[in-house]
Amino acid sequence: MSRFILITPDGEFEKLVRAATAGIHGDLHVFQADYLPDGPGDILRQMVGEPPEVLILGPGLPVEDSLKMAAVMDLQYPEISVVLAVSTTPEIVLQAMRAGVRDLLDPASDPDAIRVMLERASLAAAGRRRGLAPQTTEHADHEAGRVIAVMSPKGGVGKTTVATNLAVGLGKSAPMSVVIVDLDLQFGDVASGLLLKPDFTITDAVMGAASQDSMVLKTYLTVHPAGIYALCAPNSPVEMDRISAANVSHLLEQLRQEFQYIVVDTAPGLGEHVLATLEQATDAVWICGMDVPSIRGMRTGFHILDELNLVPDQRHIVLNMADRRAGLSLKDVEATIGAPVDVVLPRSKTLPFSTNKGVPVLQDNSRDSASKGLRQLVERFKPDWDSRPHKQLHRRVVVQ
């Protein structure tokens, strides 16, 4: 659980920070003051329980005093990240860097931008604690998250596009509680699909300290501006051999204790890493194209997994790139795979373009023909989905 301290006399900024931290698993302690105490100890003595991870020095405080406090904090409590909310100038940026300030925050930032910055500061604080003994999990009484395996027997059906949009869509209702994992270990595209340049990949996350401590593991994740985390594929296909099925199982177990939703973009087919994912998965999102090889491959996959008893409790079938000019109807698809289609995504020019651009359509709220179907898919994972009346759960959809 993250803990934040805010010191500021600015009531409007306090509201922004409260809105930002409302979506983070943690506590916010606010001191409404236009001055700072003599040292960090005077602040921490007023805290009960675990020490904070982030100290936010808000607008309304003397900048010189804030920089002095940051410098002392960096020396005495280096595991606590300091964020300074101030209008920046080149001089202040240089002074802040020298004082050990973790980040500079524009006081006029919106809650989403503040949330992302505070998460980064929390990760930095956790990283500084790597030398400490592994902590006992604080989620022992917390319900484990849902592992959503996005999969397809065949490649080229838009699996990554659906996975990234699903993660971004879930992030809107559960900010900072969603992580997308790229398990296409040879040719994964989650990083490019989300326009990310990760410092660490899944190879780093399954090795060393990260595999022993979930707090360390979170420092290997990349924060996305949409309010989600990402764990991207290895930089080189040869690194796939260093990651075993057991590594995948353990990684997903760790993430389930930290996140509400774990969206896994799997590799095509039913390799050992995919099977390891299915052993942990609570849900499987099957992506099927509007072509015979894809449809038959899905039917075969269902049959094999049923024999292996690896079919997750919740199954969601998505028909992507639906087009009646393909010579197949929705009834043909359902009859072949032996199951109803839950979501239909019509063929779209915007969807592949958004993937190439690195901005999912559910992130920029594009009015694309497939957006409605993607939002329907996201709704299926909301907590109240099972309690809703689904009189038309598997209604026939007209393929445009």
pLDDT at 389: 62
Q: Are 171 and 227 in contact (CB under 8 A)?
A: yes
Q: Are 316 and 162 in contact (CB under 8 A)?
A: no
Read off the tokens for 327.
Answer: 């010579």
Read off the tokens for 37.
Answer: 């105490």
pLDDT at 307: 86
CATH T-level fold of 2-128: Rossmann fold (3.40.50)
CA 39/CA 134 separation, integer angstroms: 29
CA 390/CA 342 separation, integer angstroms: 12
pLDDT at 129: 62
| Confidence band of 290 (pLDDT split at 50, 70, 90) | confident
Indicate the residue type of 189: D
Read off the tokens for 347.
Answer: 């063929």
Whole-structure pTM value: 0.70
Question: Among the ranges 123-127, 351-355, 376-380, which has the highest mean pLDDT value?
Answer: 376-380
Q: Is the CATH number of domain 146-379 3.50.50.60?
A: no
> Any idea what DSSP says for residue 317?
E
CA 283/CA 84 separation, integer angstroms: 41
Read off the tokens for 272.
Answer: 């050992």
Indicate the residue type of 105: L
**Which distant-in-sequence residues (6+ apart) come within 8 Å of 324 by Cβ?**
399, 400
Read off the tokens for 50.
Answer: 């675990």
Query: CB count, 10 Å around CB of 364?
Result: 12
- Domain spans, the chain: 2-128, 146-379
| Fold match flag (2-128 vs 146-379) | yes
What's the Cα-to-Cα distance from 70 to each of 47, 54, 98, 215, 229, rounded to whole Å?
18, 11, 10, 24, 28
CA 387/CA 314 separation, integer angstroms: 15
What's the Cα-to-Cα distance from 373 to each of 294, 319, 320, 352, 379, rounded to whole Å?
20, 10, 10, 15, 10
82: enclosing H helix or E strand? strand 81-85
From the number of C-beta atoms within 10 Å of its C-beta (0-12, 13-18, 19+), residue 346 rates as: buried
Q: Does 141 have pLDDT greater than 60?
A: no
Least confident of 29-38, 102-111, 386-395: 386-395
Q: What are the tens digits of pLDDT across the range 330-343?
A: 888 889 888 899 99
148: enclosing H helix or E strand? strand 146-151
Q: Which residue has the tokens 């989650």?
A: 190
CA 35/CA 62 separation, integer angstroms: 7
| Residue bearing the bigger pLDDT, 155 or 285 | 285
| Average pLDDT value for residue range 240-259 | 92
First to last CA, the chain: 47
Interstrand relation of 222-224 and 228-231 (parallel, antiparallel or unpaired): antiparallel
CA 159/CA 188 separation, integer angstroms: 11
Q: Which residue has the tokens 């027997």?
A: 153
> What percentage of residues in the chain have a pLDDT greater than 90?
37
Alpha helices in the chain (DSSP H): 11-21, 40-44, 63-76, 90-99, 111-128, 159-173, 190-193, 202-205, 214-218, 245-256, 272-280, 292-308, 330-337, 350-357, 361-364, 371-379
Q: What are the tens digits of pLDDT across the range 250-286?
A: 999 999 988 999 999 999 988 999 999 999 999 999 9
Picking from 83, 113, 378, the residue whose alpha carbon sits closest to that of residue 225 is 113
Q: Which residue has the tokens 């006399």?
A: 9
Q: What are the tens digits of pLDDT across the range 57-91?
A: 999 999 999 999 999 988 888 889 999 999 888 88
Q: Are 208 and 263 in contact (CB under 8 A)?
A: no
Q: Does 140 have pLDDT greater than 80?
A: no
